Amino acid sequence: MNNEGRNFLEILWEKEEGIARFLFEHFYDYIFRVAFFITKDHQLAEDAVQETFLLVLQKCPQLNDEQKINAWITKIALNAARTQLRKNRGFPVTLDPDLIYQQIEKHLPEELVVQKEDLLAIWQSIENLPPEVQRTFILHYRYEMSIKEISAATGVPEGTIKSHLSRGRNFLRRKLQKTSCGPGKEPKPAASVEEVNRT
Amino acid sequence: MRQYTEKELDEMIKAVLRAKLDNCTPPPAEEAWARLKEKMPQISQIKRPFRPVKRLLPGIAIAAIFILLTVTIFSLSIPKTVRALGYKVMDGITVLLRGTEMNLRGGVTSDDATKPPPPPEEGKEIAAEPPAVVTLEKAREQAPFPLKIPGYLPEGYRLEKVLYQKQSAYTAQVEMEYKGPGGKYFTLTQFNFTGELGTGYVYDREDTTIKDVPIGPCRAKLAEHKSGFVHLMWIDGQTGLNLDGRLSAREAIKIAASLYEHWDQK
């Protein structure tokens, strides 16, 4: 998503022809991945991509701040994916934990030694975060945006962004503690979204 | 539990999110673009509200007549007895995604226009509640569908955990996790749905085989991964069932079949 120093919206509306194509090529890969993150289904993710672009192209002229486009598109993509999931309730796919671990391990720094079950707990729990926290997490951790950048992009105050990150981390920490209960120990009830919001 | 520093936790979250977002291959952009282009008139209206619509009017009229004729002929040619069945389970359709990656599509579709509409779920978001650990009894009480319990378990297996998740005002999902000896395990997931259902299962044909197997009165799809991971999925009325884990296909089928033996005895 590199704008190469040019104003994105300027490029976008520079000429009428090719506007949609430019936008599509620029964000297609990203939107698909965000949609797949929610739906876990290629077909549903593809449908969500279509829905997202239709909405993005309809609403784009109303967007007057280039900085906000990433966050704005992320939000639309997350909503479109959730809508697809609601319309097409699929089989819950349980992935092989070994395969999941292999996928995550590739992205860990070599010097960091972590327990497999802790990574799997984060893998599972991250999807139970409230949507706004998920969006903050994606922008911060995956796209390495600073708190200030996220705030500018989403229009959410910096304090709230910090709070999203802190609450999300606390939620995951609690999940990790529960993982350590292990078999035979009494599992505590799962933390709810409300709990995340309250913390 | 190992105590992780903030930095370590951050690295773990980053790695998980990278794995989740990066380890999927989007289909070729050209195909997706072609699909989007079909919907382009809708987009063009934003900037050119009248011209395209006017230009497309004859085409739209012809298409409308064609669709009307097709629907009429199709509805007259289908016997009433078939339509009276209401919802029907669609056979799995295998779609090549790219390379050796396949998508097994299936689901439930309505073929009866006179059937009362499902509860009005439209517009409601999926409850964001995470699954809660509950007892089996509580799951049975709360589930808005008859929860099936295996009548057979291979030796050494025991129920480890039951997770209940309310998905909407009318639907829920129950996951029952079983642990067996030697690192074997399986999860039985049951969920209900209202109206129609679309399902998808992505696999690689180089390391996964798909078979049809009968489970009670239903026809299930069995996916066997060469690593020993099996995935059995089927639809029973307005309920979807899913049994997967690290166990033999024979055991998985036997456990799934026992859901119906047990059910019949009740």
Q: pLDDT by residue (tens digit) across B95-133?
A: 554 455 555 666 665 544 444 445 544 444 444 456 788
Contact A16 B47 (CB under 8 A): yes
For residues A22 and B229, the model is more confident at: B229
Question: Searching chain B, which residue's CA lies closest to the CA of residue A110?
Answer: B11
For residues B142 and B71, the model is more confident at: B142
Whether the pLDDT of residue B143 is over 60: the answer is yes
Whether the pLDDT of residue A185 is over 60: the answer is no
**Read out DSSP for B55-108?**
HHHHHHHHHHHHHHHHHHHHHHHS-HHHHTT-EEEEEEEEEEEETTEEEEEEEE
Q: Please give the Cα distance from B63 to B44 (Å, whole number).
A: 19
Judging contacts by C-beta atoms under 8 Å, the chain B residues touching residue A94 are 187, 189, 231, 242, 244-245
Residues A59-115 pLDDT 10s = 765 666 666 777 778 888 888 888 887 776 655 555 677 777 887 888 888 888 888
The CB density around residue B193, as the number of other CB atoms within 10 Å, is 26
Residue A156 φ then ψ, to 5°? -95, 135
Contact A28 B29 (CB under 8 A): yes
Residue B20 contacts A where some CB pair is shorter than 8 Å: yes
Q: Identify which of A36, A57, A122 has the shortest CB distance to residue B16.
A: A122
- Which H helix or E strand runs over B162? strand B158-166
The residues in B 204-223 lying below 8 A from A, measured between CB atoms, are none
Among A15, A64, A8, A54, residue whose Cα is nearest residue A31: A54
For residues A58 and A81, the model is more confident at: A81
Whether the pLDDT of residue A15 is over 70: the answer is no
How far is B229 from chain A, CA to nearest CA, in Å? 7
How far is A46 from chain B, CA to nearest CA, in Å? 7
How far is A2 from chain B, CA to nearest CA, in Å? 18
Among A167, A172, A169, residue whose Cα is nearest residue A120: A172
Contact B202 A41 (CB under 8 A): yes
Residue A170, class by beta-carbon neighbours within 10 Å (0-12 exposed, 13-18 middle, 19+ buried)? middle
pTM: 0.46
Judging contacts by C-beta atoms under 8 Å, the chain B residues touching residue A183 are 160, 179
List Cβ neighbours of B26 (8 Å cut-off, separation of 6 or more). A28, A29, A32, A33, A36, A45, B32
Residues B196-255 pLDDT 10s = 666 666 667 777 888 888 898 888 889 888 778 888 988 888 888 999 888 999 999 999
Question: Searching chain A, which residue's CA lies closest to the CA of residue B164?
Answer: A190
Contact A89 B46 (CB under 8 A): no
What the block records as the tokens of B223 is 């996916």
Check residue B76 and give left, alpha or beta (phi > 0: left; psi -120 to 50: alpha): alpha
Whether the pLDDT of residue B59 is over 70: the answer is no
Contact B131 A190 (CB under 8 A): yes
Q: Identify which of B16, B105, B233 has the shortest CB distance to residue A123.
A: B16
What the block records as the tokens of B194 is 């209202």
Q: Please give the Cα distance from A104 to A121 (Å, whole number).
A: 12
How far is A103 from chain B, CA to nearest CA, in Å? 6
Q: Please give the Cα distance from A45 to A31 (Å, whole number).
A: 9
pLDDT at B100: 54
Which residue in the block uniquely carries the two structure tokens 């995470």?
A: B130
Residue B14 contacts A where some CB pair is shorter than 8 Å: yes
Among B171, B182, B259, B159, residue whose Cα is nearest residue B218: B259
Work out the angle between the directed axes of helices B6-22 and A116-125 (0-180°, nearest 10).
60
For A138, which DSSP code? I
Q: Identify which of B15, B33, B131 has the shortest CB distance to residue A107.
A: B15
pLDDT at B157: 93
ipTM value for the complex: 0.71
Least confident of A49-53, A164-168, B46-50: B46-50
pLDDT band at B156 (very low <50, low <70, confident <90, very high): very high
Average pLDDT (A112-134) is 83
Whether the pLDDT of residue B158 is over 90: the answer is yes
Judging contacts by C-beta atoms under 8 Å, the chain A residues touching residue B24 are 32-33, 36, 42, 45
Average pLDDT (A161-188) is 73
Q: In sequence order, what are the beta bridge partners of B132?
A: B164
Judging contacts by C-beta atoms under 8 Å, the chain B residues touching residue A126 are 13, 16-17, 20
The residues in B 137-156 lying below 8 A from A, measured between CB atoms, are none
- In 3-state terms chain A splits into helix, strand, coil percentages (rounded to 5) of 70, 0, 30
CA distances from A74 to A31, A49, B163 (A): 7, 11, 30
Q: Is the torsion defined by CA of B65, B67, B73, B79 positive or negative?
A: negative
Average pLDDT (A121-142) is 85
pLDDT at B68: 53
The CB density around residue B51, as the number of other CB atoms within 10 Å, is 11
**Read out DSSP for B180-211?**
-GGG-EEEEEEEE-SS-EEEEEEEETTTEEEE
What the block records as the tokens of A34 is 């965000």
Judging contacts by C-beta atoms under 8 Å, the chain A residues touching residue B231 are 93-94
Residue B2 contacts A where some CB pair is shorter than 8 Å: yes
For residues A171 and A184, the model is more confident at: A171
Q: Identify which of A25, A91, A138 has the shortest CB distance to residue B201.
A: A91
HEC string of B35-59?
HHHHCHHHHHHHHCCCHHHHHHHHH
Is-contact A138 B17, C-beta < 8 A? yes
